[in-house]
Every structure is written in C-alpha cells, then in structure tokens.
Structure 1
Amino acid sequence: MSRAALVLLADGRFPAGGYAHSGGVEAAVAHKAVHDINSLEAFCRGRLHTTGLTTAGLAAAAAAGCDPLMLDDAADARTPVPALRAVARKLGRQMMRAARATFPSTELDRLAAERPQGAHQPIVQGIAARAAGLTPQDAACAAAYEAVGGPATAAVRLLSLDPLAASWLLARLSTEVDTVAADAAGAAARVEAEGLDALPSASSPLLDITAEQHAAWTVRLFAS
C-alpha cells in the first residue's frame, strides 16, 4: 500500500480516540510545568525520548510480526501505573475498531478475540501498520509522532497557544521523531535474537505520578 497509509494512521483525525487525550500535558499545565511554547517543547521532547521511544518499540515489534500477546504483556510491564494501563487499553480498543474497518486483517481479528478488554494501543497500531503494508519503522514513526503530536494539539486548547507555533514546534522535533523511530525499529529487529528485553523500556516517573492524579480529577477537559 502507498505511504499515504502511514499518513492516515498517524493523522489525528483517524477515529481512534486520541483527540480526547492530552498525553499528560493537561496535568502538566495545571502544575505550571507547561505554560508557553518553550515549556511545551521541553515537555514534548522529554515525552518523545521516554514513553514515546517505548511505545514506538512496541509498535515496531508488532509490525514486524512478533507475538502480539507477548508484546501486550511486555507493554503491561512497561506501564506500571494503573491509570495509564487503563488508558492504553481504552485507546487500543478504539484503535482496533478503526483499524479493522480501515485495514481488514485476520491478525487484528485474532487479537480482538484474544484481548476483548483491549490490547495496548501501540500493539494494535503496529498490527494495523503491518496490515496496511507498512514497515516496522513506519509503525514506530506513527507512534513516535503521536507521542508529541497529541500533547502539542491539546496544549493549543489548554493554553490558547497559536496553532502555528505548535506546528513550528512539531517541525523542530521532526528529526528527533525520525531518530526515535529508527532506534525503535532497530530494537524490534533484535527481538528474535535477544528476546523482548531488546525493546526499549524508557519511562517518565513524573508522567506516571501526574497521570494517577489526573485520573482522580472530577473536572477535566481531556480523558488523560
């Protein structure tokens, strides 16, 4: 399939539910850690090289044909916070519906049957990329871009930032997104020889802490 499939999979308008999530930036705004375009850039860069790298590795491994159930367990191990595990599975369920309608695949059907509660979102994303004829690095790129694109878009709404400034920020991070995607795909290629420990397991403890706090809020603009 054409590379347009990658654009579709990474598009924020793809009906996979990502638009309802801020990637942790809503809590960061509340704590004043993100308050302008420069602090948003720092937040997005940090997220890209930690949780973004981890999810990109999982997506690449799924696109490479690794056992999705084992990958889903590995995703659980890399997501220690209950609130974020719940979010990842909710997004996985929503992406599964969109992916099965857009890129019909027996692999997606099988995973939906084996994980009715929802698989982690990057696993579904990787299998969808595989069904679309994309490469593991393509899948990693979509996941890495989402790690920064979601928070940047959410921050525009939360802080009334100039959308053009947010686009400028994403353009500045584009080379780093490519680097993270390449690193993630390289790690996925080593899974057969080294096992799942070859996949990145970078984390961001502050995101974990604020995610639990955010989940307890009674009033919020975003689901996470």
Structure 2
Amino acid sequence: MFDVTPGTRSQLAMMLTLADSRLPVGGHVHSGGVEQAIADRAVVDVDSLARFLHRRVVTTGLVAASIAAAVADGTVEVPAAQEETDARTPSAAARRASQAQGRGMLRLARRLWPDEDWSGHAPRTHLPVISGAVGRVSQLSGFHTALVLVYTTMSGSATAGQRLLALDPADVAVMIADLGVECERVAAAAAVELADLSDPTLDVFAERHERRDMPLFMS
C-alpha cells in the first residue's frame, strides 16, 4: 500500500466526497457498460462481473485515469486534455456519458471553489478532465487523483451489477476489495504518462446501450 500523509488524507477525503455517486456527478445512474453486458449475457454472475470490471479498469479506466493524472500534475493543460480524451474515446455514446458526468463534477467544483477559473470546462468537459482539475485545486498528486477516479468508476459499476443481477452485497464487497489492488497498479501506471488504448467490446456495449428502449442506466 502507498503511504498517505495526514494532509493528503484530508485532500483524498474531499476528492472521494466529490466523486460520491449520490452527488450531482451522477455516478449512480451510469453503469459503465455493465447494463448492456448483462443484457448481452457477457456478465451473468459475480465471477463474470469481476472479469468485466478488471477488463474495464485496465483499458478505459487506465486511459481516463492517465488524463486525470496529467491534468492534476499540470503536464497537460485542460484544452489539450479535452482533445486527448475525445481522441481516446472512439464511442460517441461513451463520450456523451463522460461529458454528462463531467457536468455534474463541474457544478460541484464551481460551488466549492468559486474563485477558480473553470472556463476551460465550458461548454462541456469530460469527467477525467474535470476530475484532474479538481485534484489539482485540491493539491492532490496525479497518482492519488487517478486512484480516486479509477476506484470510484470501478466500484460504481460493481454496484450497478449488484443491483441488476440481485447479487449478494457481501460478495460484491469482497470483489471490490480484491480489485482495489489492481486499481492502485493502474493508477501508478496512469501517473507516468498518457495511456493510448481502447477496448472495442466496451465501445460496442456503449453504442448498443444508447439504442436500448427504456434502459435503467444512462450508460
């Protein structure tokens, strides 16, 4: 495990609070592809859900975390980060989902830090980009910003799977804990450089989900 100083703990608490799915970020209405994966029978139980989440963490999760880390560390400025996120998100549906959650995070950021310049996040912003900006304002490192993003993204999708499949919450909690180690590894890699990869299967799930009749989740 990585050492965390008392000051960092308070900053992490702030970031985790902002990423909470109950807040306007809206994570509770996004399954991250889990709903479509279940509909397509790619996910049917705890084990297949764990495999799906691991795959998401090491592909699209790594990409998003690397964007957030770069913005938090100041190695990539916000306008360029928006373009880099677009370029690394082939699915238009996935881009829209990212921007929908980005709007929620931006709304909170403006309330908490009204004196900061958030103009680079208008008229739209991706969740990884605004997460990185919030991490920078909170004086978090790129690693810790990436860790918060990848962990909360994974755990939010896990919770969606639990609800959709009526899984035992204890089983899902154990699965989330097991995946926490991989989240740390991915965050460490994300803090080194921008990741440049995609997962066509997850892109297909995103596009198919957007065309569903009466989905329970927005993505």
TM over 0.5: yes
Q: Where does the alignment leave 5 or more consecutive residues of structure 1 unmatched?
A: 188-198
Paired residue type of 1:28 = A
Q: Secondary structure at 2:106's aligned position in 1?
A: helix
Q: How does 1:39-54 map to 2 (within 5 A)?
A: 39-54=48-63
- CA drift of 1:169 comes to 0.5
- CA drift of 1:212 comes to 0.8
Residue 82 of structure 2 is matched in structure 1 by 72
Q: Assess if the C-alpha contact under 8 Å between 1:105 and 1:131 holds in 2.
A: no
Matched, 1:59 2:65: no
Paired residue type of 1:43 = F
- CA drift of 1:102 comes to 2.9
Q: Secondary structure at 1:223's aligned position in 2?
A: coil
Paired residue type of 1:78 = R
Paired residue type of 1:44 = L
1:69, 1:20 → 2: CA distance?
27
Q: Assess if the C-alpha contact under 8 Å between 2:18 and 2:108 holds in 1.
A: no
Residue 201 of structure 1 is matched in structure 2 by 196
**CA distance change for structure 1 residues 180 and 154 in 2, over 3 Å: closer, same or farther?**
same
Post-superposition CA distance 1:111-169 (Å, at most 9, x none): 23xx21x1111000110111112111111001111331121010111001111111110
2:44, 2:149 → 1: CA distance?
25
Q: Assess if the C-alpha contact under 8 Å between 2:18 and 2:105 holds in 1.
A: no
1:142, 1:215 → 2: CA distance?
26
Paired residue type of 2:31 = S
How many residues end up aligned between the 2 structures?
Answer: 209
2:114, 2:52 → 1: CA distance?
36
Matched, 1:162 2:171: no
Matched, 1:18 2:20: no
Residue 136 of structure 2 is matched in structure 1 by 130
- CA drift of 1:41 comes to 0.4
Paired residue type of 2:187 = A
Q: Assess if the C-alpha contact under 8 Å between 2:93 and 2:210 holds in 1.
A: yes
- CA drift of 1:53 comes to 0.2
Q: Where does the alignment leave 5 or more consecutive residues of structure 2 unmatched?
A: 1-6
Q: Assess if the C-alpha contact under 8 Å between 2:19 and 2:25 holds in 1.
A: no
Residue 106 of structure 2 is matched in structure 1 by 96
Q: Secondary structure at 1:26's aligned position in 2?
A: helix
Length-normalised TM-score, structure 2: 0.91
Q: Secondary structure at 2:191's aligned position in 1?
A: helix
Identity of aligned residues (%): 41
1:208, 1:47 → 2: CA distance?
11
Length-normalised TM-score, structure 1: 0.89
- CA drift of 1:13 comes to 2.8
- CA drift of 1:105 comes to 5.2
Post-superposition CA distance 1:41-93 (Å, at most 9, x none): 00000000000000000000111122100010000000111111111111111
- CA drift of 1:211 comes to 0.9
- CA drift of 1:22 comes to 0.2
Residue 96 of structure 2 is matched in structure 1 by 86
- 1:173 is aligned, of 173, 179, 186, to 179
